[in-house]
Structure 1
Amino acid sequence: MTQALPPAAPQAAPPARQRRRLAPLQPVRAGTRWLLGASFFVLFVAVWAAATLGGFVSPTFLASPMTMLREGWSLFAEFNFAYDVGMTVWRVLGGFVMAAVIAVPLGIAMGAHKGVEAFLEPFVSFCRYLPASAFIPLLILWAGLGELQKLLVIFIGSVFQIILMVAVIVGGARKDLVEAAYTLGATPRGIVRSVLIPGAAPQIAETLRLVLGWAWTYVIVAELIGSSSGIGHMIIDSQALLNTGQIIFGIIIIGLIGLVSDALFKWANQRLFAWSTL
């Protein structure tokens, strides 16, 4: 007669803290987030350095990190690259502000009033799919090669996106709040001013933050053609000289400026609409 084996001991469950750490949507501490983000950049640069310094990639096609830094220093010290950076930032902010000033009120009107939405939405949806770069030949004919042409490229690339996104945000307002405001005697104009706009403001600000990132792609396209200054102009000149170090440095500068502007925008949104994050 065989002897029954004792039941296997149950495996110890992972600690509750570990389970929470691995759970979906579980937030991480600010210090851990910064460490993880910096770790990826370190890993990226290490792979880049190994590929270039190890001879796996020709310097003609990809400069090493050290070469890129030397070329970047040369741009600032010898070629007044700070002026190009300033011009690019000015163009991004100018075109983006022009788009926001026009798009936000139109988007609010479309979201709040279905008649306005029916009138504008087909045209806005049509224009939203038109690439801003396709307008450059016309804009050069209409506005020349000056600053207005570059501002209009950013404006066209941003304005229709903002209009439609703002309209969706405002149109998705809670109906119970609107009905409660009518019950308390609010007028249609008061509904828009006191219910729809305050309720949608945090999301509108977040939409503007996202579209500002898109504006950076449009400004480089605008500076690639018929420009005598700006980061895009420098990249085109460096491409003609096969100077990949300067090209990569210009791309990294765009990313750094965009990262800083995004962080400032996010900080401002948190201060202006702190109640929305509670």
Structure 2
Amino acid sequence: MDGGLLNSKNMYKSWTDCLGAAHFALVFALWSALAYAGVVSNTFLPTPDQVLQTAYRMVVDPAGDNLLHHALISTLRVTVGFFISAVLAVPLGIFMGTLPKVRAFFEPMMGFIRYMPASAFIPLFILWIGLGEPEKVMVIFWGTFFQQALMVMDVTKNVAGELVEVSYTLGAKKLAVFSKIILPASLPGIIDTLRITFGWAWTYLIVAELVGASSGLGYVIIQAGRFLKTDVIFVGILVIGLLGMLTDLIFKLLYRVMFPWLTREGA
């Protein structure tokens, strides 16, 4: 019976993988049909081989347009901004979800600020901290911190109340309940929250590199747009997407390593 269930889960995973691959293939086929048939001018929609050739040229180019250099700079900016956000948002979110008074103090203002677009703060960030790297990191931090803290709060707050009540009934102290019940039960959701918000951090990259940047994938895309280099724009967008998928896979692997029992249940 267990073997049949395992085979059923494996078949389901194979089908879902195939459907995901089919979606990519469909989008690629549509792109190729429009570009190669000339339905859309190559000025506005380059062919896949044009994009591939441009990417190769940018990888082997030792000058300032080197794709790997720009990708590394952007990855560092996103990672630093996200890391600072996570270091501050995760503990705050846990305390907000655990302690009603902390939640009552922080949640209204954070809920208000999270609706403000990070791009609107760029002029202020430039005035306050200049046009250097801290300003770009700040944009990514600002774009992820508030949502991250509120999502962690919700994960922590929604830990099964029965577990907490039973622990107090059995004489457990508040610190023990937090460390033995609330935190372990919240950790899978927190890791998932970090995975999702890391994806958001990548979406703020173009905004972060919009002003005063001389490197990075966002800078490459913006400069290419000024000269109608759509093949370079496609390369930049696709590289950001691939880097985002890579970070997503890293978090999924981390989740499987840390919580193998949950992975087996959800397989």
Q: TM-score, normalised by structure 2?
A: 0.91
Alpha-carbon offset, residue 107 of structure 1 = 0.6
Partner of 1:59: 42
Partner of 1:32: 15
Partner of 1:99: 85
Alpha-carbon offset, residue 93 of structure 1 = 0.8
Alignment RMSD (CA, Å): 1.7
Following TM superposition, where does structure 1 have runs of at least 4 consecutive aligned residues deviating by more than 4 angstroms?
none
After superposition, the C-alpha distances for 1:256-276 in whole angstroms (9 at most, x for unaligned) are 111111011111011112233
Q: Are 1:113 and 2:91 matched, yes or no?
A: no
Q: Are 1:41 and 2:34 matched, yes or no?
A: no
Say which is worse superposed, 39-48 or 197-206, in terms of deviation. Answer: 39-48
Partner of 1:17: none
Partner of 1:4: none
C-alpha distance 276-31 of structure 1, shift in aligned 2 (>3 A): closer
Q: Are 1:251 and 2:237 matched, yes or no?
A: yes
CA distance in 1, matches of 2:101, 2:129: 34
Q: Are 1:176 and 2:172 matched, yes or no?
A: no
AA matched with 2:20: G
Say which is worse superposed, 140-149 or 98-107, in terms of deviation. Answer: 140-149
* Percentage of identical aligned residues: 44
Q: Which of structures 1 and 2 has the bigger CA Rg?
A: 1
Partner of 2:172: 186
After superposition, the C-alpha distances for 1:42-93 in whole angstroms (9 at most, x for unaligned) are 2222211111111111111111111111111121122211110001111111
After superposition, the C-alpha distances for 1:115-135 in whole angstroms (9 at most, x for unaligned) are 111111111101111111111
How many pairs are equivalent? 255
Partner of 1:143: 129
**SS of aligned partner of 2:204:** helix
1:172-251 pair list within 5 angstroms: 172-251=158-237
Name structure 2 gaps, 5 residues minimum: 1-7
C-alpha distance 27-156 of structure 1, shift in aligned 2 (>3 A): farther
Alpha-carbon offset, residue 230 of structure 1 = 0.3
Partner of 2:248: 262
Equivalent of residue 132 in structure 1, options 109, 118, 122: 118
After superposition, the C-alpha distances for 1:105-151 in whole angstroms (9 at most, x for unaligned) are 11111111111111111111011111111111111111111111111
Q: TM-score, normalised by structure 1?
A: 0.87
Alpha-carbon offset, residue 35 of structure 1 = 2.7
CA distance in 2, matches of 1:229, 1:248: 17
CA distance in 1, matches of 2:25, 2:166: 54
CA distance in 2, matches of 1:206, 1:156: 20
Alpha-carbon offset, residue 28 of structure 1 = 4.8
Q: Are 1:68 and 2:51 matched, yes or no?
A: yes
Name structure 1 gaps, 5 residues minimum: 1-20
